Amino acid sequence: MDLNAWILLLEGAWTTLWISGVAIIIGVSAGLLIALIRQKKIPIIEQLLTLYISLVRSTPLITLVLFLFLSLPALGIHLEKHIAAILSLAINTAAFNAEIWRSAIRNFSKDQHEAAMSVGMTHWVFFRHIMLPQMIAVSLPPLVNEMSFLIKGSPAIAIIGIVDLTRVTNRISAVTYQPLYPILGAGLIYMIIVGVLVKLQYVAEKKAHRLAM
């Protein structure tokens, strides 16, 4: 593999990273929103969200990507392929993040809520300054874990033609007929990215430990 191939790989890595990054930001916030909505247990919405989570749980990313990219136009929604990729990653990860947030909400101590009420906090102040910071600390390790799953699933977006780290290997080997080295190179870069996330998760776990009462 020459320098050029490495440059192509790094460009692919950048694509993987920014698309995943945007999907993570959307997915984490949407997950929180879903979890908060589910707290309210609004009749029909609750069932729809349950169905959504159940469906996404067993739908492979690659199927979801193809579905969104190929079939939404039939409904008159025109999706740029990068948008389709981000959307499908986000839809997938949001379902898992919602479950993470939900368990953080459910396990939040009732006592702390009472303590907040009794110093005269409003619900919003309580949520913003007491509950949310703790939810973040508790959820961060599983959220980061889910982020590494997202990165590991991201090669699915290659199938709609996004030149991510995985698809770059095809491009290189389509010329050289020597796929082994680009695959190994891509694998190495993935390992570095996910490895950083795993480290991050470890640090977040240590931080969250402080909250263990």
Minimum distance of another protein from residue 54's CB (angstroms): 7
**Chain residues 4-43 in contact with another protein, contact rule CB under 8 A:** 4, 7-8, 11
Determine if 205 is a binding residue for another protein (CB under 8 A): no
Residue 73 CB contacts under 8 Å (≥ 6 apart), including other chains: 79
**Chain residues 110-139 in contact with another protein, contact rule CB under 8 A:** 111-112, 114-123, 125, 129-130, 133-134, 137
Determine if 62 is a binding residue for another protein (CB under 8 A): yes
Among 36, 52, 148, 205, binds another protein (CB under 8 A): 148
CA–CA distance, 48 with 52 (Å, rounded to integer): 6
Residue 122's SS3 state is coil
CA–CA distance, 140 with 206 (Å, rounded to integer): 11
- Residue 48 or 211: the one with the smaller Cβ distance to another protein is 211
Q: Which residue has the tokens 């909505």?
A: 37
Stretch that binds another protein, among 19-27, 36-44, 73-81 (CB under 8 A): 73-81
Determine if 159 is a binding residue for another protein (CB under 8 A): yes
CA–CA distance, 121 with 190 (Å, rounded to integer): 46
The interface mask with another protein, positions 161-190, x = CB under 8 A, is: x-x--x--xxx-xxx-xxxx--xx-xx--x
Residues that bind another protein (rule: CB under 8 A) add up to a total of 82
For residue 115 the two structure tokens come to: 């303590």
Determine if 3 is a binding residue for another protein (CB under 8 A): no
Among 14, 60, 203, 206, binds another protein (CB under 8 A): 60
Q: Please write down the long-range contacts of 12-15, taking CB distance under 8 Å and 24 or more positions apart.
A: 12/163, 12/164, 12/165, 12/166, 12/167, 12/168, 12/186, 13/165, 13/189, 13/193, 15/162, 15/163, 15/164, 15/165
